[in-house]
Amino acid sequence: MALDELNEQIRACRKCRLWWGAKNAVPGEGPLNANVMLVGQNPGAEEDETGRPFVGRAGKFLNKVLAHNGIDRQTLFITNIVKHVTPENRKPLPDEIAACVPYLVTQVNEIKPKIVVLMGTAAWKAPRAEGVEYVETVHPSAAMRFAKIRKRFEEDFAALKKRM
Ligand code: SF4
- List the CATH number of the domain containing 7: 3.40.470.10
Number of domains in the chain: 1
Is the pTM for the entire model greater than 0.95? yes
Q: What pLDDT shows up at residue 160?
A: 97
Q: What pLDDT shows up at residue 156?
A: 98
For residue 15, report the distance from its CA to the centre of ligand 1, in Å: 6
* Helix, strand, coil fractions of the chain, as percent rounded to 5: 50, 10, 40
For residue 118, report the distance from its CA to the centre of ligand 1, in Å: 18
Contact 85, 35 (CB under 8 A): no
From the CB of 10, is ligand 1 less than 6 Å away?
Answer: yes
- Which residue segment(s) compose the domain that 157 sits in? 3-163
* Residue-wise pLDDT tens digits, 126-159: 999 999 999 999 999 999 999 999 999 999 999 9
On the 0-12 / 13-18 / 19+ scale of CB atoms within 10 A, 31 is exposed
